[in-house]
Amino acid sequence: MLGIAVGSFRGATRRVALHPKQGNKNFYKGYGAKSSGRLTTLGKYIKQAHKIPNFVVPDLAGFNLKPYVAKTVDSPKVAPMTPDVMKELGSK
């Protein structure tokens, strides 16, 4: 009898993911961001170079393609990759 009544309590159907605004003042969820350094014992923050991401971007000067592709463009007709085609590509 008690097992049936447990699900009928007020708020029992509101079991969704807890967000920081829904928790108490001590609840900190974070958003999966990686740290870029560390805290010292004195409370000072030291950045560590190996933790900071380094994005390598090629030189795009003279690059003719644009980032936008229209929806009306047909998909390219590409020949199937057979061993003969791969040998030809490898010999170039």
> So what's the pLDDT on residue 45?
95
Asked if residue 78 belongs to a domain, the reply is no
Binned at pLDDT 50, 70 and 90, residue 8 comes out as low
Asked if residue 75 belongs to a domain, the reply is no
Do residues 27 and 18 touch, judged by C-beta distance below 8 A? yes
Asked if residue 15 belongs to a domain, the reply is yes
Binned at pLDDT 50, 70 and 90, residue 43 comes out as very high
Range 62-84 average pLDDT: 84
Which residue from 33, 59, 40, 38 is spatially nearest to 48, judged by alpha carbons? 38
Asked if residue 39 belongs to a domain, the reply is yes
> So what's the pLDDT on residue 50?
93
Asked if residue 61 belongs to a domain, the reply is no
Asked if residue 31 belongs to a domain, the reply is yes
pLDDT at 66 over 90: no
Asked if residue 14 belongs to a domain, the reply is yes
Asked if residue 72 belongs to a domain, the reply is no
> So what's the pLDDT on residue 71?
86
pLDDT at 5 over 70: no
Q: What are phi and psi of 38, to 5 degrees?
A: -150, 160
Domain enclosing residue 12, as ranges: 1-56
The number of domains in the chain is 1
